Each structure stands twice: as C-alpha cells, then as structure tokens.
Chain A
Amino acid sequence: SLSEYNYEVYHSLEDIQSWMHYLNQTQPSLVQVFSIGRSFEGRPLLIIQLGRKSQVYKRAVWIDCGIHAREWIGPAFCQWFVKEAILTYKTDPAMRKMLNHLYFYIMPVLNVDGYHFSWTHDRFWRKTRSRNSKFRCRGVDANRNWKVKWCDEGASADPCDDTYCGPFPESEPEVKAVANFLRKHRKRIRAYLSFHAYAQMLLYPYSYKHATIPNFSCVEFAAHKAVKALRSVHGIRYRHGPASQTLYVSSGNSMDWAYKNGIPYSFAFELRDTGYFGFLLPEMLIKPTCTETMLAVKNITMHLLKNCP
C-alpha cells in the first residue's frame, strides 16, 4: 500500500519507478504516470500527474528532483510530496484545494542515468551519463544545459568538468524531454520548482545575471513566507533571494529557462544541510527535511493561487 512504502529511506531508481507504476494502478482518481521520453541510456523519463482528474482546464505546477545525481534528498522529497498529497487529500482542506484546482507534474528523478550511476558506482557523480566519441570524459551538467545564456559564466566548456554545459543547448535527452514538455504546457504551468542540495536556500531568478525580475514583489513575498513557514517546523533557517546574489551567478540552468519561457513563478530549493553531512544526509533526517519542505511548497502554491496574478 501507499503507506507501506518506506519514505524515510533512499531508494534505487528501480524501486522509485516501480513505486510510480504502483501509484498509477492504485490511485486512478489522483494519479496518472506517463513517460516524456528516454534518457541517454534508454531509461524511461517518468512524470506523475497529481491532482483530481478533471475535464475542465486546470493550471499546473511543475516539480522536478534529481537534476544532479548525488543530491539524493531531492528525489526523497519528491516521493514524500506525492505521498503526503495523496494521504492528506481528504483531511487537509489546503491540500484538497490545491489538488482540485491544480495539477502537479512531478518528476522524482530527472537525471535517471546519473542517479542510477550514483547508486551503483560513484556516490558523488553529478552529471548525466551521456557519451561523446570526441571526448574521454562522460556526462553533462543537466543544470547548465538549458538555453538561457548557455555556457556563459558559471558553466564550463570542458567535458571533464562537473559544470560542463554540453556540446549545445538541450543536448541531453533528459533536458530536451523536460524542455519540450514545459514548452508544450507553458500556458497552463504557473510555477516551476526544482529541488537540489545542499545549502538550505530558496532561490528565484535570475541566476545568470544581476538584475531584478519584473514580478519581484510577489515572488519575493512568496519566498519570504515559505522560508518562514519552513523554519516554524524544526527551526531550520533557509536563506532566500535571487540566485545570482544569494548563491552565485550560473548560466544555462532550468530555473532561469523556465522563467524566460513564460512560467512566471520559478524557484530552486537547495535542501539540507549546510555541510555537516553535505550530500550524505542520513536517512533519519529525511522525515524532518521533507516535512518542513512540504510546508514551504504548500505555502508557495497557496500564495501563488491566492495572491499573485
């Protein structure tokens, strides 16, 4: 059953995809799982459409996790989010409202090949696993491969670097598949949320330049409320702000691309912690991390539904 799956441990890619197929079969009123393409190594790129099925036009929120392979707390959160949404649909008025009014498109693992490689071979792998016969090194940074000031500051043209931007924008089939989906549905998708680790930050555009976004006030207020809500759970402090100031300038990332392509509310979370465990956040911290982040995401979604144009 949904509640028998252990959401407080990290799972292999196979387990995660089996869980998605299981949900597809057992939660037909709220869940539909489909593929948007194949990874470089041929794995399906699976998305969960979460929300009350409706013939009426519904706006949507996109959530992706696992762009960087070694950031395992991301996919753990994506699974947690789905579980919480389904389990509390009937008892939580806020969740019911969100799932009735919106669809969530959730991609628990975007970089499926990299995640599998980090599970089986190299725990600290970051990039995709694409190969180019011209180069001796594999993989592209899936968060430098988007067509927004591609391969500029903060990205590398060296295939052996961890921030390699790729031979051209959207060279990675995973990035291309997601970009195509977001382009196709951009009029419906109101928010883009991407989950990474580690730094304990909630970021919004721009990352590629030092400038203020046109809808700054609504975005900043949503972020401010979200980190305040997050902190109320376990006292964990998250910084928030434009990525270029709060973190560093980086070009070619998904958050900036989503914003530039018409998704008005675009955020990137850097989840726990700040370096004590780094990428190796112990499983016993999955629950508190996901619980506080859940509240932040609900907060952002409700704020955007009610207060932002």
Chain B
Amino acid sequence: HSYDNRYAGHKVIRLIPKSEEEALALKSVSHQLKVDLWQPSSISYVSEGTITDVRVTQNASRTLLAFLQKTNIQYKVLIEDLQKAVENENSVHTQRNRR
C-alpha cells in the first residue's frame, strides 16, 4: 500500500454552513478534531456558504459525521476511502516504480 496505508479509513468531507452559527460550530469542531483543511486554506475563511473540504482520520470522521447529523449541517462525503483514492491517483506503472 502507498504511504504504508496511513490513509486507511480517512475521508474527505465537504461542508457548507448555512449560517454564521453553523460556521462557528464547524470552526470549533474542526479545531478540536485537528482536521486537514483542503479548502479554503484557512479555517478563518469559513463563514456562511463557504464550501469547506476537510480530511479527517477514521476516528475523527465518526465524531464529525455524528456532529453534523446532530446539528443538521449540510455535508457530503467527497472521498469515502482516501487510501484507495491515493492509490488510484497513480497508474499501475507509477505504483510499481514507487515501490
């Protein structure tokens, strides 16, 4: 596995806060869960309507998804299995070369 399988269970989730209250809640939970922000580049940019993509570990994803469902914040799982996506990025030829 690429990168020693370190991305197994990781997900990339898209969040779109519908209000400033939701944005504040997202900022707080993102900080707590130490998400990797894919876009925007800084959590300070997140406000109402901001398309926010975060990468979370397996454990963090359970907590985050539960939080989003509880607070009814709109979300979509962009990448369900990040390890698979990392491996699919490269062709078989490139993977062989990397190994």
* Chain A interfacial positions (CB closer than 8 Å to B): 6, 9-10, 12, 121-124, 141, 154-156, 161-163, 198-199, 247-248, 250, 275-284
Contact = CB atoms under 8 A, between A and B. Distances in A.
Given A9-B94, A124-B55, A278 B86 contact: no
User: Looking at B3, B7, B78, which has the most chain A CB atoms within 10 Å of its CB?
Assistant: B3
Given A121-B3, A124-B55, A280-B89, A275 B41 contact: no
A248 B78 contact: no
Interface of B: 2-3, 7, 12, 14, 36-42, 44-45, 51, 53, 55, 78-79, 85-86, 88-91, 93-94, 98
| A contact patch SS | loop
A275 B51 contact: yes
Closest 7 CB pairs of A and B: A280-B89, A163-B42, A248-B45, A9-B94, A280-B85, A283-B91, A278-B38
A276 B39 CA distance: 12
A203 to B, nearest CB: 13
A1 to B, nearest CB: 18
A198 B39 contact: yes
9 contacts: A154-B41, A162-B36, A199-B39, A250-B41, A250-B42, A275-B38, A279-B38, A280-B79, A283-B89
Given A155-B42, A162-B36, A275-B14, 18 more contacts: A9-B90, A9-B93, A10-B89, A12-B98, A122-B3, A123-B7, A123-B86, A124-B55, A154-B41, A162-B41, A162-B42, A198-B39, A275-B51, A275-B78, A277-B85, A282-B89, A283-B89, A283-B94
Contacts of A141: 41
Given A9-B91, A156-B42, A162-B41, A276 B55 contact: no
B57 to A, nearest CB: 12
Contacts of A278: 12, 38-39, 53, 78-79
A126 B88 CA distance: 21
Contacts of B45: 154, 248
Contacts of B40: 247-248
A278 B38 CA distance: 8
Contacts of A122: 3
A6 B45 CA distance: 38
A124 B12 CA distance: 12
A134 to B, nearest CB: 22
A281 to B, nearest CB: 7
B46 to A, nearest CB: 10
Contacts of A276: 78
Nearest to A8: B91
Nearest to B10: A124
B90 A275 contact: no
B60 to A, nearest CB: 14
B15 to A, nearest CB: 11
Contact of A281 (B38, B39, B55, B89): B89
